[in-house]
């Protein structure tokens, strides 16, 4: 049981390049999330997927797209990377429950955009 | 639209109890209070959650006031490895009917030898 895995762990891009961050969970959770964390800051929600086939915007969705490929996988795509997107990106999945919110996080992807 | 208020930092001596406070005065009746922590640059780690009653697990205890407007996370015997940022969280309802979790700045706990 690996929990939540993310690839890659580190990435350096040039401005304008595109890339996809991959996330997978093996806990059979319906809900998955993408967050970004800037230095010294809390996490901010980019996009989330309440269930397979659905995605919704979070607090900071501009410049990103997501795909919920199946129940296990939720990817985040940067179409044209900008220096402002330099951050650490965390994927999470959530245990089911209407009033509960126990989330399990991946190790993060550290992205630098030059 | 922060829903919780926490002190930015706290110190604790190794082996002593660490008591981390959180105010959540606008919490609704059926919402849980959650605590996570983030060690260095790792992904946040779930610690504990509660609704009304005090809760305890192998990591910590959670004390929730009777009016549910505040809570305290207790690490009974803090170790150097407990140095981390601790987040107190309640969810925010979305117009779409779902919820989102807001991670604020949290409390940076320094455990000192």
Each residue of A42-73: pLDDT tens digit? Answer: 889 999 998 888 999 988 999 999 999 899 99
> Minimal Cα–Cα distance from A104 to chain B, Å?
7
Quick check: B91 and A101 CB within 8 A? yes
Share of chain A above pLDDT 70, in %: 96
Closest CA to B74 of B47, B41, B51, B108: B47
CA distance B73 to B23: 12
Each residue of B60-113: pLDDT tens digit? Answer: 999 999 999 999 999 999 999 999 999 999 877 666 666 677 787 899 999 999
CA distance A10 to A7: 8
Closest chain B residue to the Cα of A40, Cα to Cα: B105
Q: Stretch A28-49: mean pLDDT, rounded?
A: 91
Share of chain B above pLDDT 70, in %: 91
Query: Are A63 and A113 spatial neighbours (Cβ–Cβ below 8 Å)?
Result: no
CA distance B59 to B46: 10
Confidence band, pLDDT 50/70/90 cuts, at residue A40: confident
Cβ of B51: how many Cβ atoms within 10 Å?
A: 15
Quick check: B103 and A101 CB within 8 A? no
Q: In 3-state terms, chain A is what percent helix, strand and coil (to 5)? A: 5, 50, 45
Distance of CA A14 to the CA centre of its chain: 20
Phi, psi of B82 (to 5 degrees): -85, -5
Cβ of A83: how many Cβ atoms within 10 Å?
A: 11
> In chain A, which residues have their Cβ closer than 8 Å to the Cβ of B44?
43, 90, 92, 103, 105
Q: Stretch A102-112: mean pLDDT, rounded?
A: 94
Most B CBs within 10 A among A43, A54, A95, hence the mutation to make, goes to A43
Quick check: A59 and B100 CB within 8 A? yes
Give pLDDT, residue A114.
96
Residue A32 has pLDDT above 80, yes or no: yes
Instruction: Tell whether B41 lies on the interface with A, counting CB pairs under 8 A.
Output: yes
Q: Any bridge partners for residue A89, and if so which?
A: A36, A109
Q: Stretch B9-38: mean pLDDT, rounded?
A: 92
């Amino acid at each position: 049981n690996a929990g939540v895995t993310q690839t890659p762990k580190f990435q350096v891009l040039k401005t304008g390049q595109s890339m996809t961050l991959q996330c997978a969970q093996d806990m059979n959770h319906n809900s998955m999330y993408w967050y970004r964390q800037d230095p010294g800051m809390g996490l901010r929600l980019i996009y989330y997927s309440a269930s397979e086939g659905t995605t919704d915007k979070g607090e900071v969705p501009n410049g990103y797209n997501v795909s919920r490929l199946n129940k296990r996988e939720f990817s985040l795509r940067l179409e044209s990377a900008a220096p402002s997107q330099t951050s650490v990106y965390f994927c999470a999945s959530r245990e089911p429950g209407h009033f509960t919110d126990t989330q399990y996080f991946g190790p993060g992807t550290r992205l630098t955009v030059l | 639209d922060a829903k919780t208020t926490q002190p930015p930092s706290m110190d604790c001596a190794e082996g002593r109890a660490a008591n981390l406070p959180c105010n959540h005065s606008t919490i609704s009746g059926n919402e849980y209070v959650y605590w996570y922590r983030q060690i260095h640059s790792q992904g946040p780690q779930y610690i504990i959650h509660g609704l009304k009653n005090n809760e305890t697990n192998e990591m910590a205890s959670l004390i929730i006031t009777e009016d549910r407007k505040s809570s305290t996370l207790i690490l009974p015997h803090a170790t150097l490895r407990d140095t981390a940022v601790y987040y107190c969280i309640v969810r925010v309802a979305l117009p779409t009917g779902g919820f989102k979790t807001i991670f604020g700045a949290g409390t940076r706990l320094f455990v000192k030898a």
